[in-house]
Each structure stands twice: as C-alpha cells, then as structure tokens.
Amino acid sequence: MSQVSETTRTIRVDLGDRSYDIAIGPDLLDQAGALIAERLGERHVVIITDSNVGPLYAERLEESLAKAGHTGRTIQIEAGEQSKSFIYLESLLDDLLSEGLERGTVLLALGGGVIGDLTGFTASIALRGIEFVQIPTTLLAQVDSSVGGKTAINSPHGKNLIGTFYQPRVVIADTSTLTTLPPRELGAGYAETVKYGLLGDAEFFEWLEQDGTGVLSGNAGIQTRAIVRACEMKAEIVNQDERETGRRALLNLGHTFAHALEAETGFGGTLLHGEAVAIGMVLAFDLSVTLGLCPAEDAARVRAHFEAVGLPTTLPSHPSDKWDAQTLIEHMSRDKKVQAGRTTFVLVRGIGDSFLTNEVGHADLVQLLDNMAATA
C-alpha cells in the first residue's frame, strides 16, 4: 500500500530498467523511509548531507528510515562547492569503505546540488556501482540537479568535468525543506525554474510572470506547482535523450555564458550558479535578437521578469579587473559542449522556442559581451 499522501505528486522518469519516480510534496522527509522500502525493501542506508542541512533535517530522516526498518548512519560534509572535489570524494569513499560498504548499501543524498552530484558520483564508482536516492533540499536541486542522473565533481580545469550518468532509484522532493533555504538560494533556484518556460513552455513562463513571486515568498501551493511542471519537463527531455546527444542540451539555456561568468568570478563566489544562469539567459535572448531570430519584446519580457523578482540581468563588478569579451569567450571554448572546436549555444526563436546551434559568429559574440561589459 502506498504511503504517499494526497498532496504528493509523482512523476515518472521512464528509462526502462533504470526508471524511477520523483515524489513531490510537503513533509515527505517523514515518509522517506517508507517510500524507499516500497521500492528497495529494508536496506542499510547511509545518509550523505552537508553541515547546513544535516543539523536541520538528518535526525528526522534517520527516524523515518528506522521506522520503515532500514539501518544506517549519517556522514556530514562541509557545505559548499569545494566539496565537489577529489579530496572530498576520496575522504567520503574512505569513510564508507572503512565501515565495510556492501553492494546492498544505499547512499542517500540529503542536500542541494553539491551533495546530490557528489553522492551520485560516489555511488556510481563505489564497488563498481551501488544504488542511491536523492532527497533534494534546494529549489535548484528539486527542479533540476536531482533528476536526470548527471553526477560530477569539479576539476582545476573546470566545473563538472569529471562525472558519470547514473540514475537514482527514487527522488523525494520535500517542499517543506524550502522554508529554511536562504532567500538568495531560493532566487537562484527560481532562475532554473524559469528556464523551463523559456526553453519550451511559453504558458508556464506566462504563469510565472503572474504568480512566480509566490515561489519566492514561500507559497507552498505555487512552489509545488512550479516544481511539478519543471520536473515533468525535465523527465520528458531525459526520457528522450538521457546522455545528452541532442535535445537534453536545451536544458543548458544560458549556461555557456553562465559558466564563463562563474569561472571569472570564482565558482560559488560573487554569483550563485542560478544567478549566473539568469544573466546567461538574458544574454542568450539578446544574442537571438541581434541575430534576427527572436522578437525584441520577448527579450524585454525576460529581463523585466528577472528584474521584478530581484534576479541579476547585468554583470556584477569584476572581482579583480574589468570584464573582457575575449577572456569570456576563452572560458566558453573550454565548455563540455564544444564540438570540433565550436561552442554550442542554446538560442531562441521566442519565449518557449529554443534550439541548438554552433553557428554563432565570433564578431557577434564579442559585440554582445562588450555591450554587456559596458553596463557593468
């Protein structure tokens, strides 16, 4: 019998024998033990969490797991992007192996995208692969990173360059955990939520223009509706293109610019990832307008909405120097999405109509970035 309450929505990611559910709703931490037992039976579960999320939610989760018959323990890691590194990976693997890790052990990621990416990567390589579960606690992780099986750590050569595609067994998004998320983190996750409207659902964007402030003010019903729509879209895209050979790359709208901005300002520094993505999406719309592909009023609507909700639409001051178009383009050329030396961009024909191209001219890019730098 299902333990899921009536307020919980379930979305299926359909990948054959790697299919799984995304459960979305309030107070799901208390049902997590049962939701896992229904799918995996009673197991030894190791919770991996960070130093902000652990003190808030680990005990409740441990109780939920014990009540459903699971055994286990919790490993707490320092919060922050630096944890997605070889050093933390090694120390986590060492901790797991020193306690006698078994093939049947399940890793449970309790936290934001950092914990989700590190735990997923660890699960994919420990004992050649053990099962893992995502319990995302940031809006960004609930609408994006916990779904779709991208796992990663960073390298000195760039972000997310070392990783695997490895799907979780279930994603449990407890919307109540968003009540403790710092407002700036909520805003960053909101940018990734808007992304779905901009890349493929104009009606969703229109709804966010009307009601999106409810996501940021903590309206639980509006938050759930936004997360559900984002996860439906992400699941549909991942179902078609799990390993990003084509359509999945649309999820990178704004990201090629964002990664360049983050590389210049320091990852996890001046700009949060979602904030950099907001600026990146403004740049993608501006570039599409310049190339005669997209109506100027659509780009204006995107900028106006981000301004209305307090997301950045222009470059912040450069941390050490001035912004330089050539340097940003060099960062873009190191992107994972470069093919045969050409950077792939997600551009738009309008709100809700995105496409991939590697035909963006160098001069157009320099002009776009110079214009943006002039307003910083």
- What positions carry a catalytic annotation? 128, 150, 192, 234, 244, 248, 252, 255, 259, 273
Site for ligand NAD in 75-114 (CB under 6 A): 79, 81, 84, 111-114
**Between 41 and 182, CB nearer to ligand NAD:** 182
Q: Kindly state the smallest distance separating residue 145's Cβ from ligand NAD, in Å.
A: 3
Which stretches within 202-295 are classed as H helix? 202-211, 213-217, 220-240, 255-265, 273-290
Query: Who's near 360: CB < 8 A, 6+ residues apart?
Result: 287, 291, 343, 345, 347
**Contact partner at residue 161 from ligand GLY, ligand NAD, none, CB < 5 to 8 Å by partner kind:** none
Q: Which two tokens stand for residue 27?
A: 């107070």
Q: Which is nearer to ligand NAD, 110 or 368 (CB)?
A: 110
User: Which 250-269 residues touch ligand GLY, going by CB under 6 A?
Assistant: 251
CB of 235 to ligand NAD, least distance (A): 13
Nearer to ligand GLY, 254 or 352 (CB): 254
Give residue 148's region: left, alpha or beta (phi > 0; psi -120 to 50). Answer: left
Binding residues for ligand GLY, total number by CB under 6 A: 6
What's the closest the beta carbon of residue 234 comes to ligand GLY, in angstroms?
Answer: 7
3-state secondary structure of 340: coil
Phi, psi of 79 (to 5 degrees): -70, 145
Secondary structure (3-state) at 10: strand
On whether the CB atoms of residues 325 and 335 are closer than 8 A, the answer is: no
Q: What is the 3-state secondary structure (H, E, C) of 24-45?
A: EECCHHHHHHHHHHHHHCCCEE
Secondary-structure breakdown of the chain: helix, strand, coil percentages, each rounded to the nearest 5: 55, 20, 30
Could you tell which of ligand NAD, ligand GLY, none binds residue 111, using a CB distance below 5 to 8 A set by kind? Answer: ligand NAD
Q: Which stretch binds ligand GLY (CB under 6 A): 74-82, 209-217, 243-251, 358-366?
A: 243-251
What's the min distance (Å) between Cβ of 150 and ligand GLY? 5
**Per CB under 6 A, does 50 bind ligand NAD?**
yes
The first and second tokens of residue 202, run together, are: 């104009």
Contact status: 185 vs ligand NAD (CB under 6 A): yes
Find residue 72's DSSP bridge partners: 45
Q: Of ligand GLY, ligand NAD, none, which one does residue 62 interact with (CB within 5 to 8 Å by kind)?
A: none
* Distance of closest approach, residue 328 Cβ to ligand NAD, in angstroms: 19
DSSP assignment, residue 342?
A: B
Alpha-carbon span 272 to 183, nearest angstrom: 12
Spatial separation of the C-alpha atoms in residues 150 and 244, rounded to whole Å? 10
CA distances from 312 to 90, 108, 154, 205, 282 (A): 36, 33, 25, 18, 9
Q: Binding residue for ligand GLY (CB under 6 A) from 62, 81, 131, 144?
A: 144
When asked if residue 335 is in the footprint of ligand GLY (CB under 6 A), the reply is no
Instruction: Output the residue with the shortest Cβ distance to ligand GLY.
Output: 251
**Which member of 33, 111, 148, 280 binds ligand GLY (CB under 6 A)?**
148
Which residues of the shown chain bind ligand GLY in the complex (CB under 6 A)? Answer: 144, 148, 150, 244, 248, 251
Which residues of the shown chain bind ligand NAD in the complex (CB under 6 A)? Answer: 50, 52-53, 56, 79, 81, 84, 111-115, 117, 137-138, 140-141, 144-145, 148, 150, 159-160, 177, 180-181, 185, 188, 273
